[in-house]
Amino acid sequence: MFSPHLYHHFKAYSVAHFTMIGIFLAGVFVMIRGRAFFARHASFTAQTLFFLLIFLEGGYQIWLLRTDLWNWKTSLPLDLCSINTYLCIILLYSKRYSLFEILYFIGISGELQAIFTPALSYSFPHFRFFHFFIVHAVVIWSILFFVFVKCYKVSFTSLGKSLLFLHAAAAVAFLVNTVTGGNYMFLAHKPKTASLLDVLGPYPWYILSIEGVTLCFFVLLWLPFWMPKKRLE
């Protein structure tokens, strides 16, 4: 379960993958339908999500170090999902709106792609398999906690801030890729596993294509907050 060796390769849309998708969707349903319950236990819920992320991410870093898999090319928290994880940990601790309005857009869009088209090698029942899916799910559950329980909202300005943050993070990742030979945020090449990037053209054109896809996704995420205001007008 904790071996660095790859005995079972992950297969997208296998029974194990669909099981984790089902658990994720069940968590989404529970967070939304049970928002009144979670509102009564808001502090405990936030602390549970916070410590779950700390435990899983801390365990993952320890595993990388103990197995000599930690390296500058792949282990820095510079890919989008790692950035989301650390932002989410800080958000759950601080409750800062300025973090939420960015994480709402980059978190949901990035984590959904990771859950449904994972760039993952280790399969069930490896530790990395569980770490991957649970962390991605918890990030989205945490965002939904702030939307449906804490009643945080985003604006069109929030969308713009998220785009600026994303491009700043990409600039840092590009520089680190240049120095280390890494592929943070998939700016050097596409992942080896199937992903959304496969339909967006060859390198480097898929990077331009993802700009348009990201903007469309962000607008879709903003619409639920814009439409109620429009109806009131």
Q: What is the pLDDT of residues 61-87, one digit of tens each?
A: 999 999 999 999 999 999 999 999 999
Instruction: Sketch the domain layout of the chain as residue ranges.
Output: 15-232
Looking at the DSSP bridge assignments, the partners of residue 232 are none
CA angle 78, 187, 10 (to 5 degrees): 75
Give the list of residues 6+ apart from residue 152 with CB closer than 8 angstroms, or none: 97, 100, 101, 104, 146
Average the pLDDT over 201-209 and give the result.
86
Among left, alpha and beta (phi > 0; psi -120 to 50; other), residue 118 is beta
User: Using an 8 Å Cβ cutoff, are 190 and 120 in contact?
Assistant: no
The closest alpha carbon to 225, from 110, 105, 115, belongs to 105
pLDDT at 4: 78
Give the count of beta carbons closer than 10 Å to the beta carbon of residue 94: 11
pLDDT digits (tens, 9 = 90+) for 153-175: 999 999 999 999 999 999 999 99
Determine the pLDDT at residue 232.
42
200: pLDDT strictly greater than 60: yes
